[in-house]
Amino acid sequence: MSEDTIRIGLIGAGANTRDRHIPGFLKQANIEIASVANRSIESGQQVADKFNIPKVAVDWMELLDDDSIDAVCIGTWPYMHAALTIAALESGKHVMCEARMAMNVDEAREMLMVSRLHPELVAQIVPAPHTLSVDQTIVEMIGGGYIGDVISMDARVTPGANFPNPDSPVHWRHIRDFSGNNIMGMGIWYEAMMRWVGPAASVNAVGQSIVSHRVDTDGRRVPMSIPDHVDIVGRLEQGGQMRFCFSSVAGHAPNTAEVYIFGTEGTLYLQQDKSGAFSLSAGKRGDDGLSPVEIDSAKSGAWRVEEEFINAIRGKEEITHTDFQTGVKYMEWTDSVALSIRHRKAINLPLTEG
According to DSSP, the residues that pair with 33 across neighbouring strands are 8
> Are the C-beta atoms of residues 85 and 76 closer than 8 Å to each other?
no
Cα–Cα distance for residue pair 39/18, rounded to 1 Å: 14
Q: Domain 132-301, what architecture?
A: 2-Layer Sandwich (3.30)
- H/E run at residue 348: strand 347-348
* DSSP letter, residue 309: H
What are 54-95's pLDDT values in tens digits? 999 999 999 999 999 999 999 999 999 999 999 999 999 999
Question: Model's pTM, two decimal places?
Answer: 0.94
> Are the C-beta atoms of residues 5 and 312 closer than 8 Å to each other?
no
User: Residue 211 burial (CB < 10 Å; 0-12/13-18/19+)?
Assistant: middle
pLDDT tens for the chain, residues 1 to 354 = 567 999 999 999 999 999 999 999 999 999 999 999 999 999 999 999 999 999 999 999 999 999 999 999 999 999 999 999 999 999 999 999 999 999 999 999 999 999 999 999 999 999 999 999 999 999 999 999 999 999 999 999 999 899 999 999 999 999 999 999 999 999 999 999 999 999 999 999 999 999 999 999 999 999 999 999 999 999 999 999 999 999 999 999 999 999 999 999 999 999 999 999 999 999 999 999 999 999 999 999 999 999 999 999 999 999 999 999 999 999 999 999 999 999 999 999 999 764
Domain ranges of the chain: 6-128+304-321, 132-301
> Are the C-beta atoms of residues 232 and 207 closer than 8 Å to each other?
no
Q: What is the pLDDT of residue 151?
A: 98
- H/E run at residue 179: helix 176-179
State the distance between the two ends of the chain, measured CA to CA, in whole angstroms. Answer: 38
Nearest to 327 by CA among 100, 116, 95: 100
Per-residue b or e along 100-135, where b marks 16 or more CB atoms closer than 10 Å to that residue's CB: bbbbbbebbbbbbebbeebeebbbbbbbbbbbbbbb
Cα–Cα distance for residue pair 103/31, rounded to 1 Å: 31
Length reported for the chain: 354
Q: What is the pLDDT of residue 352?
A: 79
Q: Which fold has domain 6-128+304-321?
A: Rossmann fold (3.40.50)
